[in-house]
Structure formats: C-alpha cells, structure tokens
Amino acid sequence: SQQGEEDPQALSIQEGENATMNCSYKTSINNLQWYRQNSGRGLVHLILIRSNEREKHSGRLRVTLDTSKKSSSLLITASRAADTASYFCATDGEGGSNYKLTFGKGTLLTVNP
Amino acid sequence: GAGVSQTPSNKVTEKGKYVELRCDPISGHTALYWYRQSLGQGPEFLIYFQGTGAADDSGLPNDRFFAVRPEGSVSTLKIQRTERGDSAVYLCASSSAGGGQFFGPGTRLTVL
C-alpha cells in the first residue's frame, strides 16, 4: 500500500521560479523524508523532518509539516534546470514501524531553461 | 565517505533462472533495507535488517525471495525461479540509528 501521495503528479516551471510539491499521508508518523530521483534510478535523500518539527530548511529547500492535516510540502526556491527530477515523500509509522518507509508515486518536476 | 553501492547495475535473465543482487551499505550503518520500484511507482518495502538479522521481512512478495546479511554489512537479495513480474529496479538503503535512509543507485532487473 502507498501511504504518501504527492500532488501534483507533474509540474513544469521556468528556471528561476519556485516549485512547491505537496504530500499527504494517512497514519501517524515519526518522520517524513523527501527524496529526489533522476531517470528512475537511485534516490537522493534531501531532507528529514521529525513529527515534532514544523519547518526545516536546507539550502534552497524548505519543508513544512502539518501533522494535524497529515500533510507536508517541499518548496524549491530559484529552481534550476538541474532540479528536473521526480520528487517523493516517504513516511514511516505504518503499522507502528519506525523504519519501514512508505512512498507515494512522486511528482515529476520539469524545470525549463 | 562512499555511499551505498549496488551490483550489478543491470541484470537481464530468463524466466525461471536464479539471481543474486548485492548491496554494500555505508560503513557503520547498522540498518539495511531493500525496496522494489516498478515503473511509474514509488519504491515498496521488501525487508529490513538490523545487524545480521532480518527484523522485518513482511514486504517480501513470496517465498521465491530471500535476503541475507551474514556479517552485518553486505547484503544479498536472492530471487529463485524468476518471473517476468519480478522485473523492476531493486533499491537498497542503509541508515544509522535514528537517521534518514540513504539509497544506492539500484539494480535494474529484467526477466525475459
């Protein structure tokens, strides 16, 4: 089963614009992680936010978490063509687990030069 | 330091054959995970090791799939009597206690 669902499924923007992707999930979590994937291969870990955190920053990335709404958002500021990739959120906590990640289908981000 | 490595990067096999996929985790990471990703989907959990033991193998689809981690470092995912439906990218990840999971580049398995 897939707990996390990203929205939108696809996003196309111009270089320099900001990109916002959203993730909703169903059960209680310990942590939520965002990953990037190029060309359907390895996942690059972007950021981990814990359930008691509301916002986290890393470079051009900003992640928010609203546990009352069971949702998270990933903001990429000043996007670059190299940011073109699929972005996944992954949650733990399903079945009481703090290690088993459940992924959504991802958002395909295209940044046009 | 080096990240998670996986070999081979690509594996093509015939239906009914046996395959082994290898994962080398980040040095010092005690936890190791296997996931499988089909086209257009997010990764799906297969198995989790803490040290040498499989702490949770609930994601393995059937008894044709088996994984080992005999010395608590390198892990091998073994698939017997492969079927066309086993075709996917097999991803390995490792983590330290309480840390995020870091993934390898994956092995793309194609069963003809």
Average pLDDT estimate for B87-108: 92
Residue B83 contacts A, CB cutoff 8 Å: no
Taking only the tens place, the pLDDT of each residue in A44-96 is 999 999 999 999 999 999 999 999 999 999 999 999 999 999 999 999 877 66
In this prediction, residue B1 has a pLDDT band, given cuts at 50, 70 and 90, of low
User: What is the percentage of chain B residues whose pLDDT exceeds 70?
Assistant: 99
Distances (CA, A) of B108 to B8, B17, B37, B87: 8, 16, 9, 8
Q: What is the pLDDT of residue B83?
A: 97
B residues 41-60 closer than 8 Å to A (CB): 41-45, 48, 55-56, 59
**Closest to A67 in 3D by CA, of A37, A88, A87, A91:** A91
Subunit contact B48:A100, Cβ cutoff 8 A? yes
HSE (side-chain half, CA atoms, 13 Å) at A35: 29
- Helix, strand or coil, per DSSP, at residue A83: helix
The minimal CB distance from B56 to the residues A90, A100, A105 is found for A100
**Closest to A99 in 3D by CA, of B77, B30, B87:** B30
The minimal CB distance from A41 to the residues B42, B45, B89 is found for B89
For A13-27, A92-106, B63-77, B91-105, which range has the lowest pLDDT when averaged over its residues?
A92-106
In this prediction, residue A1 has a pLDDT band, given cuts at 50, 70 and 90, of very low
Q: Give contacts of A25 with chain B, Cβ < 8 Å.
A: none
Number of CB pairs < 8 Å for A and B? 61
Which residue in this structure is represented by tokens 């010395």?
B71
Subunit contact A40:B89, Cβ cutoff 8 A? yes
In this prediction, residue A42 has a pLDDT band, given cuts at 50, 70 and 90, of confident
Q: What is the pLDDT of residue A2?
A: 46
Taking only the tens place, the pLDDT of each residue in B57-72 is 999 999 999 999 999 8
